[in-house]
A and B are shown apart, each in its own frame.
Chain A
Amino acid sequence: MSGPSLRSPETDARRVGRRDAALAAKIRGNTWLLAGFAVAFYLGYIAWNFFRGPL
């Protein structure tokens, strides 16, 4: 990238902001994925034991 307009502080800030927003979204995505896995594992394990054996 080149050109004086692209090097302006506002553009830099926007670029950094976009990068931060993308990173924040990725972090949120990763977090929900891992949390979802933990909850699914927890509930799934109970459900599997509930339906697998005579109760």
Chain B
Amino acid sequence: MSTVVDTHHDDQHASRGLVPWLMRWITTTNHKDIGTLYLLFALVMFFVGGSMAMVIRAELFEPGLQFVNPVRFNQMTTVHALIMVFGMIMPAFVGFANWLVPLMIGAPDMALPRLNNWSFWLLPFATGLLLLTLFLPGGAPAGGWTMYPPLVLQTGDAFPFLIFAVHLLGISSIMGAINIIVTIMNLRAPGMPLLKMPMFVWTWLITAYLLLLAMPVLAGGVTMLLTDRFFGTSFFSAAGGGDPVLFQHIFWFFGHPEVYIIILPAFGIVSEVIPTFARKPLFGYAAMVYATASIAFLSLVVWAHHMFTTGMPLAGQLFFMLTTMIIAVPTGVKIFNWTATLWKGSLTFETPMLYALAFLFLFTLGGFSGLMLALVAADIQYHDTYFVVAHFHYVLVPGAVFGAFAGAYYWMPKWTGHMYDEKLGKLHFWLTAIFTNVTFFPQHFLGLAGMPRRIPDYAPQFADFNMISSLGAFGLGLSQLIFVWVVIKCIRGGPKAMAMVWDHPSGLEWTVPSPAPHHTFSEPPEIK
């Protein structure tokens, strides 16, 4: 196993020709290269998963069946979710971690560079396996990303591909989590105690521990599915003495922390962006750290709020309702502290700040609909309706995706050495923000009116809001092409970025030139 004392053999980054160029990217152990690979991979998957969303919304544009049969529709919803969660947003934040954690703590690289390379290169194979199922007899998995038995056990030839893909994705995530924990705990520059680390590093440290606690449980669950299907066990088969609801417990013991695994790094990015553009230090740094840790802890004891309709005892319903609602307290602390950071700041509204502010407002809306869903009596009405779809898309799109966009615009000049096109960035922001709301806000009304989720056809009274939602989705999808153009333009040229890109940002990453050199902090910096 390689550690920090290894020297990298990546001087070939200067080499020319297709094969050396390919080998450089395949064999790289440099954290910046691997961060770039993660980010580009996530961007590609954003469009792959997004194209499936376009199929879903095209089908739902009007009542009746238009483009795909119901089985294909269910395959689209299942693979869209799996790709967006495991192939897009998680790799995007791991990309940020790879690029930024060593720079922020003054480390020369990740502690385990070869493991880092392996973590990344598992991803294309895992997502490739998943996407391959679209072309298998019987098609892709169609039982939902939650993979509930007994439905998922009816999947055709795609079943073992699904299980193997989830295992690979899990192994990749666990290795990434171990690498991040070990890096942060061992390679901080002298003079940087834990409570002096940037918030982004803190949120990733906590996220990595969550990954380590949640992922093995998912892996265990899907292994048990595999043995139920092929090796005669009955973990989840009532006929054999097992219990299908057990899988729901296992899945959501992973699934709810997963929500926070996705959102905590976005919290970290927003905690870096808001102070920079408010020109004030983050309000209540220590409280932010403790709030993040509290959210992570609570996320491990709320899982059954996804299962209120399975017939659990009243005491269980009350416990999970109350713990879920308690999460609002540390989350409220964070929202308050970001708002307090803005208070009397010298605000400017560059693209990263616009995304961070939209995050603040819209994520809070998503949080409020989460509180509505936490109420057992209300949840029994909302369960499996479009209200739930609206809720989690408000958390994941304006939450996680806007957080990722804020971070991408914030650090893009540091990564590429060029300033991005601010006008295009702002255009991208406004179109994305408007179309996100046009897409997902009407889904609240659809859910409250009783439209079930995961259906390709619906009653005529749902037609208007579905049409609005679909138009919004097409606009949202098209707007993302602007981002691709911004990234290409920024990589190819533009005004040169200085080391300190913004007006007095804090953090060690701004002390190195832009673009950040291939090797940084060979000698650890002194923190005063």
Alpha-carbon gap, A20 to B220, bound state (A): 37
Q: What per-residue 1/0 map shows which CB atoms of B205-243 lie under 8 Å from chain A?
A: 000000011011101100110000000011100001111
> Which residue on chain B has the smallest CB distance to residue A41?
B216
> Which residue on chain B has the smallest CB distance to residue A54?
B241
Q: What per-residue 1/0 map shows which CB atoms of A11-55 lie under 8 Å from chain B?
A: 000000000110110111011001101110111011001100111
What is the minimal beta-carbon distance from B168 to any residue of chain A, in angstroms?
Answer: 14
B235: chain A residues within 8 A (beta carbon)? 49-50, 53, 55
Would A53 and B243 count as touching, CB distance under 8 A? yes
> Which residue on chain A has the smallest CB distance to residue B112?
A31
Would A46 and B223 count as touching, CB distance under 8 A? yes
A27: chain B residues within 8 A (beta carbon)? 3-4, 111-112, 182, 186
What is the minimal beta-carbon distance from B137 to any residue of chain A, in angstroms?
Answer: 30
Alpha-carbon gap, A38 to B112, bound state (A): 17
A42: chain B residues within 8 A (beta carbon)? 216-217, 219-220, 223
Would A24 and B4 count as touching, CB distance under 8 A? yes
B250: chain A residues within 8 A (beta carbon)? 45
Known contacts A26-B186, A27-B4, A49-B224; decide if A55 and B233 are in contact (CB<8 Å). Answer: yes
A37: chain B residues within 8 A (beta carbon)? 212
Q: Is B174 positioned at the interface, with any CB of A under 8 Å from its CB?
A: yes
Contact count A vs B, C-beta below 8 Å: 78
What is the minimal beta-carbon distance from A33 to any residue of chain B, in angstroms?
Answer: 9
Would A34 and B241 count as touching, CB distance under 8 A? no
What is the minimal beta-carbon distance from B211 to any residue of chain A, in angstroms?
Answer: 9
Would A34 and B178 count as touching, CB distance under 8 A? yes
Would A38 and B174 count as touching, CB distance under 8 A? yes
| A24 partner, pick from B3, B181, B224, B241, beta carbons under 8 A | B3
Alpha-carbon gap, A6 to B60, bound state (A): 76
A35: chain B residues within 8 A (beta carbon)? 174, 178
Alpha-carbon gap, A21 to B217, bound state (A): 34
Would B186 and A55 count as touching, CB distance under 8 A? no
Q: Is B314 positioned at the interface, with any CB of A under 8 Å from its CB?
A: no
Q: Is B195 positioned at the interface, with any CB of A under 8 Å from its CB?
A: no
| B5 partner, pick from A20, A30, A34, A54, beta carbons under 8 A | A20
Q: Is B377 positioned at the interface, with any CB of A under 8 Å from its CB?
A: no
Known contacts A38-B212, A42-B216, A45-B216; decide if A30 and B1 are in contact (CB<8 Å). Answer: no
| A30 partner, pick from B174, B182, B217, B219, beta carbons under 8 A | B182
What is the minimal beta-carbon distance from B115 to any residue of chain A, in angstroms?
Answer: 8
Alpha-carbon gap, A24 to B115, bound state (A): 14
Q: Is B185 positioned at the interface, with any CB of A under 8 Å from its CB?
A: yes
What is the minimal beta-carbon distance from B112 to any residue of chain A, in angstroms?
Answer: 6
| B182 partner, pick from A20, A34, A54, beta carbons under 8 A | A34
Alpha-carbon gap, A8 to B5, bound state (A): 22
| B181 partner, pick from A23, A34, A41, beta carbons under 8 A | A34
B185: chain A residues within 8 A (beta carbon)? 30
Known contacts A30-B186, A42-B216; decide if A55 and B241 are in contact (CB<8 Å). Answer: yes
What is the minimal beta-carbon distance from B287 to any residue of chain A, in angstroms?
Answer: 28
A49: chain B residues within 8 A (beta carbon)? 220, 224, 235, 246
> Which residue on chain A has the smallest CB distance to residue B235?
A49
B240: chain A residues within 8 A (beta carbon)? 55
Known contacts A38-B215, A55-B240, A55-B241; decide if A30 and B181 are in contact (CB<8 Å). Answer: yes
Would A23 and B216 count as touching, CB distance under 8 A? no
Known contacts A27-B3, A38-B174, A55-B241; decide if A45 and B220 are in contact (CB<8 Å). Answer: yes
> Which residue on chain A has the smallest CB distance to residue B115?
A31
B5: chain A residues within 8 A (beta carbon)? 20-21, 23-24
What is the minimal beta-carbon distance from B228 to any residue of chain A, in angstroms?
Answer: 10
Would B224 and A46 count as touching, CB distance under 8 A? yes
B233: chain A residues within 8 A (beta carbon)? 50, 55
Known contacts A38-B174, A53-B243, A55-B234; decide if A28 and B213 are in contact (CB<8 Å). Answer: no
Alpha-carbon gap, A10 to B212, bound state (A): 42
A45: chain B residues within 8 A (beta carbon)? 216-217, 220, 250
Cross-chain pairs A/B with CB under 8 angstroms, 9 sampled: A27-B4, A30-B182, A31-B115, A34-B181, A41-B216, A42-B219, A49-B235, A53-B243, A55-B234
> Which A positions have Cβ atoms within 8 angstroms of B?
20-21, 23-24, 26-28, 30-31, 34-35, 37-39, 41-43, 45-46, 49-50, 53-55
**A27-B111, A55-B241 known; 4 other A-B pairs, CB under 8 Å?**
A23-B5, A27-B182, A31-B111, A46-B224
Sorted nearest first, the 3 A-B pairs with minimum C-beta distance are: A42-B216, A54-B241, A45-B220
